[in-house]
Amino acid sequence: MKLEKTIRSIPNYPKKGILFKDITSLLENKKAFNYTIKKMRTISTKVKFNKIAAIESRGFIFASVLSFLTEKPLILLRKKNKLPGKTISQKFKLEYGYDTIEIHKSSLKKNDKVLVIDDLIATGGTALAAAKLVKKTKAKVSGFIFLINLFDLPGNKKLISKGYKTFSLINFPGH
């Protein structure tokens, strides 16, 4: 299946100069969504992990299904002030500003092996912040799975240069 054909591109969203990859068109296509989950499940067998971390918000969609299929706990990496318990925070730069993600202090333990899931890798700010959060808990990132890699943006290369395994189902140019 050509998943690329199920993704809509929205020019100048959320601001001028950005070509937004809208995954809702893939999610609304049951064959494409099921195929995506099956491919992510197959990829997940290539790394050793005991927990899955989902990056807010679209990462939640894929990670929750993978958590169910692999019978592994689901850890949420949320935007600032969205988690009710004691948290650890990581600020990071986006393509169009700054943001902060958080994790519950109690979510990960030393020596946990974490598979991180998100919909897209672009400049790498969010993914690197996720890796830093995992590291702050003394756990280890086993790998990343993304639906989309914007291959001409530096995010995936940054992760690889730091020794992380990355997997993507679709490669698009980011510009």
In 3D, which of 46, 47, 39 has the Cα closest to residue 142? 47
In 3D, which of 113, 175, 171 has the Cα closest to residue 139? 113
CB atoms within 10 A of CB 45: 8
CB atoms within 10 A of CB 125: 20
In terms of Cβ atoms closer than 10 Å to its own Cβ (0-12, 13-18, 19+), residue 58 is: middle
CA distance 89 to 44: 26
Question: Which one is catalytic: 4, 41, 95, 102?
Answer: 95
Question: Which one is catalytic: 8, 41, 58, 102?
Answer: 58
Catalytic annotation on 41? no
CB 120 within 8 A of CB 88: no
Q: Which two tokens stand for residue 61?
A: 């969609």
CB 130 within 8 A of CB 77: yes
Catalytic annotation on 58? yes
What residues act catalytically? Answer: 58, 95
